Amino acid sequence: MYLQVTNLKKSYGTGEGRQEILKGVDLTMEKGSTASIIGSSGCGKSTLLNCIGGLEVIDDGDIRVDGKSLKGLGKRELGAYRRDSIGFIFQFFNLLPDLNVRDNIRVAERLTDKPIEYGALLDQLGLAGIERKYPNQLSGGQQQRVSIARALIKNPQLLLCDEPTGALDSATAKDTLILLEKSMLPSARPF
């Protein structure tokens, strides 16, 4: 089992205001597989992804990725795990506005010693012609393709996507999902 979430519990707040969001979540995934998490607004989907991605410290239970447990890791170790193992794609892209497309992607490339090849990734995601543009000069779909490239260049073990098409029109959303799925196939990894 590549990803194994066992009896995961996570609350926010303290005392009277304490709210238990994840009340014992179990989830297992094999290497190379894809899963979608569906649920009503506020049910804890982003919280679950943030726990798996090491953005949140968990209260109880365990998360194991490739046999390694996140339990008991401190902020610094979680930071290293995020940097080395996780690619994150967000609904609103979160690109750095003062960097062009190339630099937004290359910043992530520097975080790892096992990046995938920049030029091949650019071609694969159809970004070669817009390398010098800044985020505010791009359409939503183009920005999301840049953020996919930024996540993939690290060659992450896990790609976590939180509503990656939520800010896109339905046709662009469909194209983006197809591209995302293709990009994650081991055979599509350009190395």
Ligand X SMILES: Nc1ncnc2c1ncn2[C@@H]1O[C@H](COP(=O)(O)OP(=O)(O)OP(=O)(O)O)[C@@H](O)[C@H]1O
Binding site for Mg ion (CB under 5 A): 45-46
38/171 with CB nearer Mg ion = 38
In SS3 terms, 23-50 reads as: EEEEEEECCCCCCCCCCCCCCCHHHHHH
Q: Does 165 bind ligand X (CB under 6 A)?
A: no
State how far Cα 74 lies from the chain centre: 20
105/159 with CB nearer Mg ion = 159
Considering only residues 12, 24, 69, 182, which one is a binding residue for ligand X as defined by CB under 6 A? 12
8, 10, 23, 48, 94 from 13: Cα distances, Å: 17, 10, 15, 16, 26
d(CA 164, CA 92): 8
45/82 with CB nearer Mg ion = 45
Q: How far is the CB of 127 from Mg ion (least distance, A)?
A: 26
73 SS3 class: coil
- Choose from ligand X, Mg ion, none: what does 44 bind? Cβ within 5-8 Å by kind: ligand X
Query: Under the rule (CB under 6 A), what is the footprint of ligand X?
Result: 12, 21, 39, 41-47
